[in-house]
């Protein structure tokens, strides 16, 4: 697994070499295991790969017992607002 896509505040990498659905699913599982949230908001940007990656992330979270709120396409920082509103 190539972990070079992990940056200080986000994930950025070449698709599918560095960032792919398998990694997104694993990130969902790891996030749930480490932070143990009861609910998570998942949004996405307008890139063509976003639906597949957000679906995989959601699967990893749900498999770990997290309630996921899908908010679809969002502009930058709207997801943060939604997260704080729950």
Q: How far apart are CA 41 and CA 6, in angstroms?
A: 20
Q: Identify whether 3 is part of a domain.
A: no
Number of structural domains the chain divides into: 1
pLDDT at 78: 62
The pLDDT, as a whole number, for residue 81 is 65
Residue 11 lies in a domain: no
Does 57 fall in a domain?
yes
Specify if 49 maps to a domain: yes
Chain segment 55-80, per-residue pLDDT in tens: 999 999 999 999 999 989 987 666 56
- For residue 80, what are the domain limits? 21-85
Q: Are 24 and 60 in contact (CB under 8 A)?
A: yes
- 77 inside domain: yes
Q: What is the dihedral of CA 32, 20, 55, 6, to 10 degrees?
A: 40
In a domain, 31, yes or no: yes
CATH of the domain at 60: 3.40.120.10
pLDDT reported for residue 18: 92
Of the candidates 3, 13, 64, which has an alpha carbon nearest to the alpha carbon of residue 38? Answer: 64
Give helix 50-63 / helix 21-35 axis angle, nearest 10°: 40
pTM: 0.87
């Amino acid at each position: 697994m190539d972990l070079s896509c992990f940056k200080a505040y986000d994930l950025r990498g070449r698709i599918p070499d560095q960032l792919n659905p398998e990694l997104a699913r694993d990130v969902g599982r790891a996030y749930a295991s480490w932070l143990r949230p009861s609910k998570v908001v998942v949004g996405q940007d307008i890139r063509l790969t976003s639906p597949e990656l957000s679906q995989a992330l959601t699967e990893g979270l749900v498999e770990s017992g997290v309630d996921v709120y899908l908010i679809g396409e969002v502009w930058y920082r709207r997801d943060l607002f939604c997260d704080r509103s729950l």
